[in-house]
Amino acid sequence: MLPSDDDDFLKETIDPKLDMNSVEFNATAFLAAKHADTKYAGLVAELETLKRSTSDKTEQLKALVASHFDQYLSCHEAIREVSDEIRAHESDSERLTTAFRSLKSTADKTLSLMLQRCEEQRKTRHALAVLARYRSFFEIPSRMRASLAKKDYVKLVEDFVHLKGHAGKASMALLKPVLDAATKTAMTANDELLHVLGDPDAVYCDQKQAISVVDALGITPKPSLLCVKTQLADMERILTSLSGPVVPIDAKARGVKPKETRSAPAAVVARSSAEIIADCGRLVRRFERGLWPVLCDTMALSTLSATEQEALHTSAADVLATCVRHLREQTLYTTQVSAEMIGSLHTIFLALDSLRPCPDSVLTAKLDVLKVTFCGQVRLDVVLAFFAAATHTAEARWSTSVETHGAAWAAAAASLQDTMHSADRADVLEAAAAVFDSTLSEWWRTLQPVLTQAIETNLSPTDAAHDAFCMVLLQSVVAHGQTLLALFGTLLSADVLVDDAPSSLASLVVVANCLAVPRRAGFVGFLNAMMESKVDVRSLSLSSTILECGKRFHESRVALLSATLDDEESFYVPESSTEVRPYVFSVLYHLVTWRSHVAYCIPLETESHVESLLSQCADQLQHFLAGRAEDANSCASSDEAQWQRTHLHVEASFFKKTLAAFVSKNATAWDTLIKRLSAHTSSNEVADLLSQVELQTQMYRLSLMK
């Protein structure tokens, strides 16, 4: 190995005075430096030894020189030649030294770099060994960040708990940076989950998972309690913004003052009923979506203190009661109960009814009371109010229709007798019913969805209570239907029956429209399918109008018949006994005409109305003929009396036979009259006249017997 500049022996410098090979050698200095502590006797002894040694070496040297003088000369020459060569190549030596030193420096650098790389390689192998051993832990922070990005909180908390469990060991101190990075990610996830716990739109499964993850992370204590308190505080703030502080439902019973607020006070802003209902509905649906199950789970925790449980109980009960109070006030005292409001309230009814019993039995009892009050009575009152509002709207619409079309209907009814001979049935006979049908259909289209929804949704505590609830609604619909039909008949009668002439057909027009309404009343079938006692449309306030108008028509015709009998009756003329009195044909003409009017206007009810009309006419005829028979007994002339009895006998027999189907109730009176007259008349003469009048009135009789 070549000597280095760093070797110590190369750097040592010898004093020339102490170098025995130097020309500057000084014996005194040498002795002072080398033998300062040597005793004199020792020096003398050594000197003697040195003398002897020197003498011996001198002799030996002389002998050696003598024996090797040739070699000496040769060496001397060689040394001289070498010296000459050295002097000749002294500059080459300097270049060689420089090259040597450069080579040495390069070698040192190369070796040091190799040693450094070797050390780095050793450290790398050690790091790789450590990485291979703890790789699963080192990857946890990146896996946690990936889980956080994918919202996979379950995997995130599993990794974090696994890392935290091993990082606490003494031999795992190198995992502390890893744990710090994982903790930072866990805190970010914890913050996101706390936002979920306070989210008013979060559902129960999301909140339950968030509570489980936050609890496993161990960063935030009692996450379930925090979730419920945060949500309830936000709900109290909203209720406070509606109408002031939340008023506890049993504050008086507890003997405490109502809390002003449990959160930051909010400004009270005037809200409409729809806005208040919407806000309270959102709060109730928050309970349904997740807050109430979380509250129940929290109440069941063994770690919950009595104070915390009481605070949750009070806050939840007060919030629910205040929501129900607002909803009740806004629904019961509003004048605009619309289908949209009913739909909004229906979802609230369902949400409140879906809240299951809570481990807190007292809170459950309060909830049951709210359900009975709100989902029972308030729901019934709101639906009934909606029915009343819909009926009021239909009444106003029908009144407007009558005001619009009433004059035209009255004019058409007045001219009906002139146009009834056309082939088509007059429109006025069902015009009002058609217009009313649109009103009635709109009313039923408004009511039916609400009624069906209320009946099909059982929110009552028992089936019997729901049956009673449904029956009240159905009876209310029946009552409102009666009201509408009664209004139909009342307004139509008042507007169409302006023509009170005896020959007017306005009464039949009203009856025809009233009879057309049941064929269009589709809601009756729905009600009959739902109710045990069937509903007859004719009983829904239409019968009274039909009877009243029919009575008016009958009375006017009977009065006209009576006037005809009085005005057209002919009296005794000598030698006129072979002719039937003309007024018989007038009576028959009236009866046939009236029957045709009834058949034209009300074809479906012709028989009953014709029977009623002709029965009254028959009674009027019997009464008239009986009166005239009594008068015949007081006649001065026996010929006149006989003539009158003969014609009365013929007329009584003819009318009884012609109106046989309509005199059954008063047949005895007819028989008595005919028997009394037959005692004073000739049977042959009566038979001749009777056959004559039957022949002349055969077409009339056929018309009456249809």
Q: What is the pLDDT of residue 597?
A: 80
Domain that residue 522 falls in: 383-547
Residue partners of 573: CB distance under 8 A and separation at least 6: none
- Residue 637 pLDDT more than 60? no
d(CA 612, CA 622): 15
| pLDDT, position 593 | 80
Q: Which two tokens stand for residue 669?
A: 């009176």
Is residue 475 located within the same domain as residue 389? yes
Q: Residue 225: inside a domain, yes or no?
A: no
For residues 465 and 513, membership in a common domain is answered with: yes
Report yes or no: 174 and 194 within 8 Å, Cβ to Cβ.
no
pLDDT greater than 80 at residue 49 = yes
pLDDT at res. 169: 66
In a domain, 475, yes or no: yes
Domain presence at residue 636: yes
84 pLDDT band, cuts 50/70/90, is: confident
Residues 197, 226: contact at Cβ < 8 Å?
yes
Percent of the chain with pLDDT over 70: 82
Residues 463 and 588 in one domain: no
Chain segment 483-508, per-residue pLDDT in tens: 888 888 888 777 776 656 667 787 78
**252 band by pLDDT with thresholds 50, 70 and 90:** very low
Rounded CA separation 35/43 (Å): 8
Residue 173 inside a domain? The answer is: no
Is there a domain that residue 340 lies in?
no
679, part of any domain: yes
The answer to whether the predicted template modeling score (pTM) of the entire model surpasses 0.85 is no
Residues 482 and 620 in one domain: no
Q: What is the pLDDT of residues 188-238, one digit of tens each?
A: 888 888 888 888 888 888 888 888 888 888 888 888 888 888 888 888 888
Residues 6+ apart with CB under 8 A from 87: none
Q: Please say which residue of 547, 579, 612 terminates a domain.
A: 547
Select from 148, 301, 292, 291 the least CA-distant residue to 215. 301
- The rounded radius of gyration (Å) of the Cα atoms in the chain is 65
pLDDT at 254: 43
Final residue of a structural domain among 512, 547, 582:
547
Distance of CA 659 to the CA centre of its chain: 70
Whether residue 588 is found in the same domain as residue 693:
yes
Number of structural domains found in the chain = 2
Largest Cα–Cα separation, the chain: 231
Same structural domain for residues 541 and 574? Answer: no
Last residue of a domain, one of 514, 547, 580: 547
As a whole number, mean pLDDT of residues 352-376 equals: 84
> In the prediction, which pLDDT does 397 show?
92
* Whole-angstrom distance, CA of residue 296 vs CA of residue 313: 10
| pLDDT recorded at residue 74 | 80
Instruction: Answer yes or no: do 517 and 609 share one domain.
Output: no
Query: Are both 492 and 436 inside the same structural domain?
Result: yes
Looking at 89-138, list the stretches that DSSP marks H as alpha helix, in order from N- to C-terminal side. Answer: 90-138
Same domain (yes/no): 444, 530: yes
Judge whether 334 lies within some domain.
no
Rounded Cα distance between 651 and 519, Å, is 43
**Tens digit of each residue's pLDDT (9 = 90 or more) over 128-151:** 887 777 777 788 888 888 888 888
Print burial letters for 481-513: b (CB count within 10 Å at least 16), e (below 16). Answer: bbbbbebbbebbbebbbebeeeebbbbbbbbbb
The overall average pLDDT reported for the chain is 78
Q: What's the Cα-to-Cα distance from 631 to each of 216, 495, 636, rounded to whole Å?
A: 117, 45, 11
Average pLDDT (350-370) is: 85
Q: Is residue 299 part of a domain?
A: no
User: Within this chain, do residues 527 and 611 fall inside the same structural domain, yes or no?
Assistant: no
Residues 582 and 503 in one domain: no
Residues 573 and 700 placed together within one structural domain of the fold:
yes
Say if residue 665's pLDDT is above 80.
no
Q: Is pLDDT at 355 greater than 80 in this prediction?
A: yes
